[in-house]
Structure 1
Amino acid sequence: MSVTTEPGSLGPQTALFEHALRLHQQDPDSPLPRDGEPYPDDERHRFRRQRPQNRKDQRLRGVDVAVILDVHFGKADAQPSELADAFCEADVPIHHNEHIAAAALHADRQRVRQTGRWLVRNSPDRCSATVGLALLATDWAEEDIPLIQIIGLLSHRFGPLAAEALRHRRGGSRAAWSNLFDCSE
């Protein structure tokens, strides 16, 4: 099992992908109980649920995420792990977002895929894992299908973006979409 620690945390945290995979393996023929909730990072995000929702212009959703990505991809030596906690204070949309997609499309495709894969597979934080999925949604390879499918099983948070990713891949096959929940490996 993959765990990471963060400064000031109470100890190791489970990656959301590992959490979804473990729940799926317990009963592979059924949806995840309670859509996979509670997530391993619930304690960390409890304060966010208690804050009043900001009613800013919806056209600006994702801009702060795109700025973080632009800065990251602008540094040739930046590693995906540097983004593990970068989105905690950002307004991370759970659906396709033009600002995030534009940031991904302006960067090197291979680097975007590598970053998306790392964030989906390793992030113990739902915000960073969501951004990783959004990066993969812009352009993924066949090898990314299991990552997208498994994280998509956490359906309340990740399902919409996972479905969108598999439905709209550039040059992608319909087989990935039709087999969205056939996650056996």
Structure 2
Amino acid sequence: MKKLLLCCIILVSVIACKSPEARRPISVTSGSFIDESVKRNTQLYESEKQQFQEYINKNPNQKYIASNSGFWYTYNTQITADSLPKPDYGDIVFFDYDVKSLNGIQIYSANETKPDRYVMDQQELFTGLREGLKLMKAGETVTFLFPSSKAYGYYGDENKIGTNIPLICKVTVHSITEN
């Protein structure tokens, strides 16, 4: 009887000492949410692109340039002198801007946004405006057409700009102080 008890204890010890197994997930999800999100955002961008094209066609006197960053712009006042620099990382840009919806309704006036002092790439500013300032010299005024992905996107500004709103911004750079 003692031998049987001893054999059982040894057998239980050997079986109990096996290594732990990894737990498997109960449900497996695919990347379908991400795929659907990409599809929605692509459709939104294409729709906004079409709206911008219609806006550009209604303003044949303005020559709009498509940027590499995914927005369009036209110079209201352009400085052709090569001696004036464009802002680089850390430069201080003093500028003002107004914000309109694509149908021309004023959202923020230049007085509401106040002349702004911005340290390039070191302070918060919505993506399109940050990239647009890099194209400008002191004394220039440029009108930008920003798709919602380059403006305030899905969240808006939590004040006057709602979800996925494309914007028109007229920006004037007053000065650039190199760092």
TM-score (norm 1): 0.24
TM-score (norm 2): 0.24
Q: Which has the larger radius of gyration?
A: 2
More strand by share: 2
More helix by share: 1
